[in-house]
Amino acid sequence: MEEPDAKKRKSGSIKEQVFRGWKKIPLPVRAFLALSACVGIVLLFAGLLRRPGSAAGGGAGPDVSGTGAFEAESAAEGEGSETSVSGQPEITGGDKKEGSGKTDASGGSKAEGSGKPDDEKTEESGKSGGAKTEASSERKLRKLVALTYDDGPSNATPLILDTLEKYGVKATFFVVGRDQVEYHKEALIRAYNDGMEIGSHTYDHRILSKSTQEQIWETMWKNDELLKEVIGFQPKIMRPTGGGINDTVRASIDRPMILWNIDTLDWKYEDKDTIVNTVKAEVHPGAIILMHDLIETTGDSTWQATAEIVPWLLEQGYELVTVSEMAKAYGYTLQPGGTYYSFNPLWSPDAELAARYYQAFGPKEP
Ligand code: NI
């Protein structure tokens, strides 16, 4: 009978001992320990709330959760106290906005790191944004895609531009000089002034892989001269006609050759729904989508499809940017004579960026 009592007394006395021990610790130290525990609990909960699984709302969901995950990572790795400390409140602000509605892009575009496509567009259009904006957009998992239009300009071009302007997005036009730029100068000027990227698609749509080096130089040179005359700009990128490339082409072309990895076959089917469905089925961050703004080969299909594709992509959280902008944002350096089919962030030369995207999109994306 005595033993259990003794045990009880002992166990009681252990609590008392702990309590007395705690009281022996000087008050400031106790206060500090208690505070640390509180802060730890708060941070733990904040961390849990940002886990990818918890952000279930809407198409922009992956963006936001991905951003949060990376933020947490960078904080843990201690990649500069600026990002981890000052970055967190900004992101929280962005998350809140995300929930409350997508409309007020202008409000938070300058400094805040919200994951909204609208915000990022504002950043892009204001290219003078500076290092601060660039740094914050680099931390985001941006879903970029590039719409490209070949063989124009034609009567379809202004109709395509109507949509691009309406949504404030960018695309890239690989233009042909002969008959197209020559007769549709206004469309080209409008595209250029809108901030669309203009690439060369040769002067006469010559098949380069069946041409001599002199012929390749000539058709490139003539197109450059015409474009300099019309818009005062010489394209920095080009797309070989029909995608045909051989050693002669590689040795003759002095700028990056941009191909594509999503072919809408708009010229073949002249069918709006085929174009729309192809894009919906195949799109992924870094994709280069091939279409044609030559109304003679695609009819009305391409400009009508564009009017459907653009808002749909935006709803999915995509930003529609130019080819060069997407390459840069995903860490690719365009080389003269190099060939590029896409700028998939999963295969970015920037290993850190690739790892972040793999974490967010890897298992799902091609
Ligand atoms: Ni072509």
User: How far apart are alpha carbons 189 and 168 in whole angstroms?
Assistant: 17
Between the CA of 352 and the centroid of ligand 1 the distance, in Å, is 36
Between the CA of 50 and the centroid of ligand 1 the distance, in Å, is 46
Please answer whether residues 285 and 145 qualify as being in contact, where contact means their C-beta atoms are separated by less than 8 angstroms: yes
Between the CA of 241 and the centroid of ligand 1 the distance, in Å, is 5
Distances (CA, A) of 161 to 34, 195, 239: 61, 11, 20
- In this prediction, residue 362 carries a pLDDT of 73
Between the CA of 237 and the centroid of ligand 1 the distance, in Å, is 14
Is residue 292 among the annotated active site residues? yes
Q: Coil, helix or strand for 318?
A: strand
- In this prediction, residue 185 carries a pLDDT of 98
Instruction: Please compute Rg for the chain using Cα positions.
Output: 28
First to last CA, the chain: 73
- In this prediction, residue 42 carries a pLDDT of 52
Please answer whether residues 173 and 152 qualify as being in contact, where contact means their C-beta atoms are separated by less than 8 angstroms: yes
Residue ranges covered by each domain of the chain: 50-139, 144-350
Q: What are the helix (H) ranges across 208-336?
A: 213-231, 247-252, 266-269, 272-282, 295-298, 301-315, 323-329
Identify the active-site residue in 150, 224, 266, 293.
150
Between the CA of 242 and the centroid of ligand 1 the distance, in Å, is 5
- In this prediction, residue 294 carries a pLDDT of 96
Identify the active-site residue in 151, 201, 292, 293.
292
User: How far apart are alpha carbons 173 and 309 in whole angstroms?
Assistant: 17
Is residue 150 among the annotated active site residues? yes
Between the CA of 149 and the centroid of ligand 1 the distance, in Å, is 9
Helix (H) and strand (E) counts in the chain: 17, 8
Per-residue pLDDT of the chain (366 residues; tens, 9 = 90+): 333 343 444 444 555 554 566 666 677 666 666 666 655 555 555 554 444 333 333 333 333 333 333 333 333 333 333 333 333 333 333 333 333 333 333 333 333 333 333 333 333 343 344 444 444 444 579 999 999 999 999 999 999 999 999 999 999 999 999 999 999 999 999 999 999 999 999 999 999 999 999 999 999 999 999 999 999 999 999 999 988 999 999 999 999 999 999 999 999 999 999 999 999 999 999 999 999 999 999 999 999 999 999 999 999 999 999 999 999 999 999 999 999 999 999 999 999 999 999 988 776 655
Which CATH number is correct for 144-350, 3.40.50.300, 3.20.20.370, 3.90.1480.20, 3.40.50.2020?
Answer: 3.20.20.370
